[in-house]
Amino acid sequence: MIELKNICFTAEVDGERKEILKDINLTLDDKLIAFTGPNGGGKSTLAKIIMGIITPTSGKIYFNGEDITDLSIDERARKGIAFAFQQPVKFKGITVSDLINIASGKKLKVTDICAYLSEVGLCAREYVNREINSSLSGGELKRIELAITMARNSTFTIFDEPEAGIDLWSFKSLITVFERLVNKSNGTLLIISHQERILNIADRIVIIANGQIKTDGKKEDVLPEILSSSACQVLTSKTEVAQ
């Protein structure tokens, strides 16, 4: 369970001080929570604050009751927080199996590595020894990122826009991946998404806009509100996913 208390984050944008997050208070302990809201609203910043990638200007973060505000990224990772990046990081000379082994904290058998890759729809044998570099397409990198994150077996896992850059076919299987993850996991999955189909499998939806929580509630209550709001630019159009 993550508790965010009075989280504020201010940054310099185009020479001006801007409040990116304004006094956020949240308790995150559901099985699948979706953060959604317009671009630039503060969703990713808040997720990065939970992982320790960004330090808040003020406020406290608790993980299972322990104050983790001053812990580094790796200390939080070892306590059980994981993060799948929106834009997966590329390396030189580091392979898919290297990162899956690091993620799992032990040297896995090839069959175990393949199982993670198959889970995200990759033909495992072709990828085990591939370097995580520019020779992989955006979609391949995204799926590998998911496999690596799954290998962490964390109790609080954050996925930052997992659908971004994924084609329509992969998107359909992505939903299945998350549904399976929810069934297997005994922790919390936090997904930042603009996609109706992802929001639809969430237990709880939090809309973040202008650095504040605009709406927070059960999927059954929040999703109809989003869908009926024509002015709200929360969701990406369906055609955009297919591109």
Class of residue 188 by CB neighbours under 10 A (exposed 0-12, middle 13-18, buried 19+): buried
Q: Would you say 86 or 212 has its CB closer to another protein?
A: 86
Closest CB 73 distance from another protein, rounded Å: 4
Identity of residue 239? T
Closest CB 57 distance from another protein, rounded Å: 20
Closest CB 24 distance from another protein, rounded Å: 21
Identity of residue 129? N
Q: Would you say 158 or 223 has its CB closer to another protein?
A: 158
Is the separation of the CB atoms in 35 and 26 below 8 Å? no
Is the separation of the CB atoms in 68 and 50 below 8 Å? no
Q: Would you say 17 or 106 has its CB closer to another protein?
A: 106
Closest CB 77 distance from another protein, rounded Å: 4
CB count in 10 Å sphere of residue 200: 12
Interacting residues toward another protein by CB under 8 A: 51, 53, 72-74, 77-78, 82-83, 85, 89, 91-94, 98-99, 102-103, 105, 148, 152
Identity of residue 22? K
Q: Would you say 100 or 209 has its CB closer to another protein?
A: 100
Closest CB 86 distance from another protein, rounded Å: 12
Q: How far is CA 227 from CA 25, 44, 212, in A?
A: 25, 22, 20
Task: For residues 160 and 162, give the distance between their C-alpha atoms in angstroms, rounded to a whole number.
Answer: 6
Is the separation of the CB atoms in 200 and 218 below 8 Å? no
Closest CB 103 distance from another protein, rounded Å: 5
Task: For residues 115 and 121, give the distance between their C-alpha atoms in angstroms, rounded to a whole number.
Answer: 10
Q: How far is CA 38 from CA 26, 35, 186, in A?
A: 19, 10, 30
State both tokens at 123: 């033909």
State both tokens at 25: 């208070």
Closest CB 157 distance from another protein, rounded Å: 11
